[in-house]
């Protein structure tokens, strides 16, 4: 196994002070999983103090001491890779909160002791680039093969964020937590309040962005009982669904399958980072409203489990969940209309309805909604996981109307009113708003038709001179 960039090999080989250095963390783990190398490499250097490390690395490129408090020196050589060199340290919990650690650097610490402070065994594996062999003190390679997520040592409990890291690691690599790790996580639940919201959000975004099996992360939350800290998700556990339509089980089980279905869609994997996060969060939240709306009701001559208007109830619950994470507005504004409109296929699919849908979804779009609707449909095993017919029809109609990626552009605009001799100002707003409503209704489709519509609107407050000019244009 040799996954090290040639440039890094040269730096390590030609710098005597780096004679006791090991690759650690994600690069080693990913190489063992057969994943392509990323751009970032972490190297832990023993036997050298922080200042000396920074000095010798400066021979090779720009050094940034941005991680001084954690013993990190970032080396940028101008190539495609980023290298983080660290000095071994010991962390001691001295007070509550994510900043309540006392950090002490110890270049002479043994590699095993340094590995012991890492969160999970799969992240504690070191790689010796000189001997080209692994230093695996805690069985991380075996845990990777068996897809087990296990904490490395008792030091795990000093940082509650590690539980949420466990959630996103389980999702990214399809891992199942060891029983003893789950037990420790349950004991740490009270420390959640110590975490900064931004750090919690970052782990959720990692879960949403780079996920192979998002359901593994959600089940990790449930089994560790940290789902109690996210009530909108916990409420879905045990909420029943109509077996004929949802043979997979309760709402939580359905949501797990839906998230996994989205992660398998090629269109989702090809999206930019913000879109993948927004769409995964929308699938997570699309049925938040079911727990409070689900009831048994007589329908079609038999008792059914129904959740009427759950998409509307879910809107407020999704907003509450996102607000607690202080999710950026750009993502919130995309997630919420997807939750509100994920049952659009139950409406009659007229041209008018599709145009109005495109406007309601803004800044999201119909293409994104179809991803959510597809994931929703595919999350019902053993029913076939195929693109539903209603998604195909909606995409086809949206393509014909040219509203697949954005709502219709206004045909009648302010510059056209200026052509009539009107002076730009507040009076433009009501005219243009009413014109756009008429356009969405299908009253007109081009500028000439828009002029005719405007001329026919007798109650529109237009000066006589403007009406005369309009009449001449027609």
Mean pLDDT (whole number) for 403-418: 95
Alpha carbons 107 and 17: distance in angstroms, whole number:
12
Q: What is the pLDDT of residues 11-44, one digit of tens each?
A: 999 999 999 999 999 999 999 999 888 889 999 9
Q: Which two tokens stand for residue 375?
A: 């994931």
Residue 148 backbone dihedrals phi, psi, to 5 degrees: -110, 135
Mean pLDDT (whole number) for 456-471: 85
The whole-model pTM stands at 0.92
Question: Which of the four pLDDT bands, split at 50, 70 and 90, describes residue 267?
Answer: very high
Contact by Cβ (8 Å): 444, 430: no
The DSSP-derived string for 145-198 is HTTEE-B-SGGGGG-THHHHHHHHHHHHHT-EE-HHHHHHHHHTGGGGGGS-HH
What's the fold here for domain 1-146?
Answer: Beta Polymerase; domain 2 (3.30.460)
DSSP secondary-structure letter at 120?
Answer: B
Alpha carbons 330 and 128: distance in angstroms, whole number:
44
Q: What is the pLDDT of residues 353-409, one digit of tens each?
A: 999 999 999 999 999 999 999 999 999 999 999 999 999 999 999 999 999 999 999
pLDDT score of 100: 55
Element at 388 (helix H, strand E) = none
Question: Which of the four pLDDT bands, split at 50, 70 and 90, describes residue 1?
Answer: low
Alpha carbons 188 and 356: distance in angstroms, whole number:
48
Q: Which two tokens stand for residue 121?
A: 């065994």
Q: What is the pLDDT of residues 283-318, one digit of tens each?
A: 999 999 999 999 999 988 899 999 999 999 999 999
Q: Is 286 helix (H, G, I), strand (E, B) or coil?
A: coil
CA distances from 107 to 12, 156, 331 (A): 17, 22, 43
Would you say residue 334 has pLDDT above 80?
yes
Q: Which of 360, 196, 335, 230 is nearest to 277 (CA)?
A: 335
Would you say residue 98 has pLDDT above 60?
no
pLDDT score of 93: 59
Q: What is the pLDDT of residues 68-95, one digit of tens each?
A: 677 899 999 988 899 999 999 776 655 6
pLDDT score of 463: 84
Question: Which of the four pLDDT bands, split at 50, 70 and 90, describes residue 472?
Answer: confident
Alpha carbons 168 and 434: distance in angstroms, whole number:
47
Mean pLDDT (whole number) for 267-289: 98
Q: Where are the beta strands (DSSP E) in 214-282?
A: none
Q: Which of 13, 79, 1, 80 is nearest to 43 (CA)?
A: 13
Q: What is the pLDDT of residues 423-459, one digit of tens each?
A: 898 889 999 999 999 999 999 999 999 999 999 988 8
Residue 55 backbone dihedrals phi, psi, to 5 degrees: -65, -45
HSE-CB for 244 with a 13 A CA cutoff? 7
Element at 75 (helix H, strand E) = strand 72-76
Contact by Cβ (8 Å): 103, 50: no
Would you say residue 186 has pLDDT above 80?
yes
Alpha helices in 341-427 (DSSP H): 351-361, 366-378, 389-400, 414-419
Mean pLDDT (whole number) for 96-101: 57
Q: Which of 114, 184, 115 is nearest to 149 (CA)?
A: 184
pLDDT score of 339: 98
Q: Which two tokens stand for residue 348?
A: 């009659």
Alpha carbons 15 and 3: distance in angstroms, whole number:
20
pLDDT score of 36: 87
Domain parsing of the chain, residue ranges: 1-146, 414-473
DSSP secondary-structure letter at 93?
Answer: E
């Amino acid at each position: 196994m040799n996954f090290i960039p040639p440039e890094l090999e040269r730096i390590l080989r030609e710098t005597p002070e780096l004679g006791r250095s090991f690759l650690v963390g994600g690069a080693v783990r990913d190489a063992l999983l057969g994943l392509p190398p990323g751009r970032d490499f972490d190297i832990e250097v023993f036997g050298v103090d922080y200042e000396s490390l920074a000095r010798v690395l400066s021979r090779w490129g720009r050094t940034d001491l941005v991680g001084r408090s954690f013993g990190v020196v970032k080396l940028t050589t101008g190539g495609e890779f980023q290298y983080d060199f660290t000095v071994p340290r010991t962390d001691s919990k001295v007070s509550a909160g994510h900043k309540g650690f006392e950090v002490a650097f110890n270049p002479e610490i043994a590699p095993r002791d340094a590995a012991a402070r890492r969160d999970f065994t799969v992240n504690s594996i070191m790689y010796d680039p000189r001997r080209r062999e692994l230093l695996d003190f805690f069985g991380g390679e075996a845990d990777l093969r068996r897809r087990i997520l296990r904490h490395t040592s008792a030091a795990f409990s000093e940082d509650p964020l590690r539980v949420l890291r466990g959630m996103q690691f389980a999702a990214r690599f399809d891992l199942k937590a060891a029983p003893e790790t789950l037990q420790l996580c349950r004991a740490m639940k009270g420390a959640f309040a110590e975490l900064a919201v931004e750090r919690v959000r970052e782990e959720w975004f990692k879960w949403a962005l780079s996920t192979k099996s998002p359901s593994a992360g959600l089940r990790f939350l449930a089994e560790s009982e940290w789902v109690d800290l996210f009530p909108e998700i916990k409420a879905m556990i045990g909420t029943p669904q109509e077996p004929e339509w949802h043979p997979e089980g309760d709402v939580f089980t359905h949501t797990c399958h839906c998230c996994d279905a989205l992660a398998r869609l090629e269109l989702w994997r090809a999206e930019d980072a913000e879109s993948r996060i927004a769409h995964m969060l929308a699938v997570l939240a699309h049925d938040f409203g079911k727990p409070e709306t689900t009831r048994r009701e007589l329908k079609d001559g038999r008792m059914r489990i129904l959740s009427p208007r759950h998409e509307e109830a879910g809107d407020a619950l999704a907003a509450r969940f996102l607000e607690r994470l202080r999710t950026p507005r750009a993502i919130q504004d995309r997630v919420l209309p997807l939750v509100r409109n994920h049952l659009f296929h139950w409406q009659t699919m007229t041209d008018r309805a599709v145009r109005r849908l495109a406007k309601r979804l803004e800044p999201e779009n119909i293409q994104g909604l179809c991803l959510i609707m597809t994931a929703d449909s595919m999350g019902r095993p053993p029913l076939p996981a195929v693109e539903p017919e209603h998604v195909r029809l909606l995409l086809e109609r949206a393509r014909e109307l040219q509203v697949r990626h954005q709502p219709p552009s206004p045909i009648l605009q302010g510059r056209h009113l200026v052509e009539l001799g009107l002076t730009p100002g507040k009076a433009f707003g009501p005219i243009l708003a009413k014109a756009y409503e008429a356009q969405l209704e299908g009253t007109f489709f081009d500028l000439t038709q828009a002029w005719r519509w405007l001329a026919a609107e007798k109650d529109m407050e237009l000066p006589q001179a403007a009406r005369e000019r309009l009449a001449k244009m027609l």
